[in-house]
C-alpha cells in the first residue's frame, strides 16, 4: 500500500510531537522519582497507538475524499469507533498483561491532538499560510 504524500507528511508531523512530548513526560516521571521500566514501556506502546491511530485517520480521510460529504462523514465516524476500540484494546492489554504504568500508557494518546492545536502557530513561525498547509485542515 502506497501512502499519499500528505498522509506521510501529516503523520510525520504528529509523530514528532508524540516523540517530543513523550520525552517531556519521561522527564517528569524522572523528576518526580517515579520512573521505572513500566513507564518507558507504557509510553512506547501508548505513543505507537497514538501515531497508528493518526495514520489510520489520515488514510481514511484521504480515501474518502472526493465523495459526497455525507459519505465522508459516515466513513470517518465509523472508522473512529474502530480506532477508539483498537486504542482501548491496545492500552488495556499493555496495562493488564504487561503491567505498564497506566498514566504513561494513556497520556500519549493525547499528544497528536496537542500537536494539531499548535499547527497554526508552527506554520506561522515557518512563514506558511493556511493554503500552504496542504490537507491539514482535513486531518484536524
Q: What pTM was computed for the model?
A: 0.84
Q: Which residues, 6 or more positions from 71, have their beta carbon under 8 angstroms from its beta carbon?
A: 64
**Confidence band of 76 (pLDDT split at 50, 70, 90):** confident
Rounded to an integer, the average pLDDT of 7-15 is 95
Amino acid at each position: 500500500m502506497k501512502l499519499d504524500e500528505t498522509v506521510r507528511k501529516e503523520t510525520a508531523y504528529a509523530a514528532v510531537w508524540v516523540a517530543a512530548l513523550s520525552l517531556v513526560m519521561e522527564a517528569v516521571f524522572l523528576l518526580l522519582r517515579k520512573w521505572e521500566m513500566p513507564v518507558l514501556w507504557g509510553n512506547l506502546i501508548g505513543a505507537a497507538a497514538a501515531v497508528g491511530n493518526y495514520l489510520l485517520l489520515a488514510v481514511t480521510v484521504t480515501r474518502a475524499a472526493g465523495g459526497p460529504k455525507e459519505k465522508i462523514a459516515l466513513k470517518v465516524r465509523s472508522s473512529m469507533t474502530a480506532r477508539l476500540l483498537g486504542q482501548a484494546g491496545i492500552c488495556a492489554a499493555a496495562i493488564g498483561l504487561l503491567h505498564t504504568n497506566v498514566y504513561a500508557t494513556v497520556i500519549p494518546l493525547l499528544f497528536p491532538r496537542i500537536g494539531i492545536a499548535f499547527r497554526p502557530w508552527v506554520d506561522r513561525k515557518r512563514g506558511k499560510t493556511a493554503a500552504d498547509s496542504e490537507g491539514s485542515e482535513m486531518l484536524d
